[in-house]
Amino acid sequence: MAAATQGRDTTARNLFGLLPMAVAAAKHIFAGTQVVKNAAGYAEPATTALAKVALGRAKHEVDNTLGADGDLSITVEEGEFKFDNSAAADAITIADIGSPCYAVDDQTVAKTDGVGTRSKAGIVTGVDSDGVWVKMGL
């Protein structure tokens, strides 16, 4: 999979909160994608990177590519969301329900941390033929 290039209709269930966040400089977050908090406390799209804190799903699109830290804000939804499954040995199965999963990009999750290269996305709560249910939020 690859990072999103437009908003996506990410299926949700069991929504439990909204979290307003300031967006990091030079970041574009698409609606329906995974949002993380960076070390400085700003929201950005999930990527293969360490030291990020998973927040939830972007409620709307925010393009801060020309802005500084905090110039724009986003609303992040907390709950359970269906994201794309990784492939091959990193694919998540029903045996992984209840276990952590890790962000590959802003719309894909994997079973492992990629040998210490990925941040935790959330907890696997289900696996369907078309994706992985992930519980996300603070």
Please answer whether residues 114 and 108 qualify as being in contact, where contact means their C-beta atoms are separated by less than 8 angstroms.
Answer: no
| Bridge partners (DSSP) listed for residue 63 | 28
Q: Identify the pLDDT of residue 7.
A: 82
Contacts of 49 (CB under 8 A, 6+ apart): 117, 118, 119
- Tens-of-pLDDT digits for all 138 residues of the chain? 688 888 888 877 888 899 999 999 999 999 999 999 999 999 999 999 999 999 999 999 999 999 999 999 999 999 999 999 999 999 999 999 999 999 999 999 999 999 999 999 999 999 999 999 999 998
Euclidean distance between CA atoms 56 and 115, whole angstroms? 23
Please answer whether residues 52 and 27 qualify as being in contact, where contact means their C-beta atoms are separated by less than 8 angstroms.
Answer: no
Q: Identify the pLDDT of residue 138.
A: 81
Q: Identify the pLDDT of residue 1.
A: 63
